[in-house]
Structure 1
Amino acid sequence: MNNDRNFLANVVSEMKKVSWPTGKEVVNYTSIVVFTVIFFLFFFYAIDIGITYLIDAM
């Protein structure tokens, strides 16, 4: 049981050392991720349509 308390105390200690992002940074990072995902969605969709067109043309 002592090891469990020691572990939890160490977890709390380490979590206090974490550098958490601000709300503005979270919104910025989330926007970048969403934009990147949407960009690659359209990019790979266009490639898929192009390959499908080439295969159907044969």
Structure 2
Amino acid sequence: MVKFLKDVNREMRKVSWPKGNELTRYTVIVLVTVIFFGVFFTVTDLVLSQILELF
């Protein structure tokens, strides 16, 4: 177990962590994408529900 944790620690030091401005930009991109798809699927669901109610 100790060897495993040491290996994990050594590998985590090799990770290229994003800088603050990159992290902010990526977070904004993710949030905008999630909101876009949420609105898209909500509108699609409403339109399809209305179409199916006609039949």
Task: Quote the Cα distance in structure 1 between the aligned partners of 2:49 and 2:7.
Answer: 56
The TM-score normalised by the length of structure 2 is 0.85
TM-score (norm 1): 0.81
Higher Cα Rg, which structure? 1
Unaligned runs of 5+ in 1: none
The 2-side partners of 1:30 and 1:43 are apart by 20
CA RMSD of aligned residues (A): 1.1
Taking only the aligned residue pairs, the percentage that are identical comes to 44
Task: Name the amino acid aligned to 1:27.
Answer: T
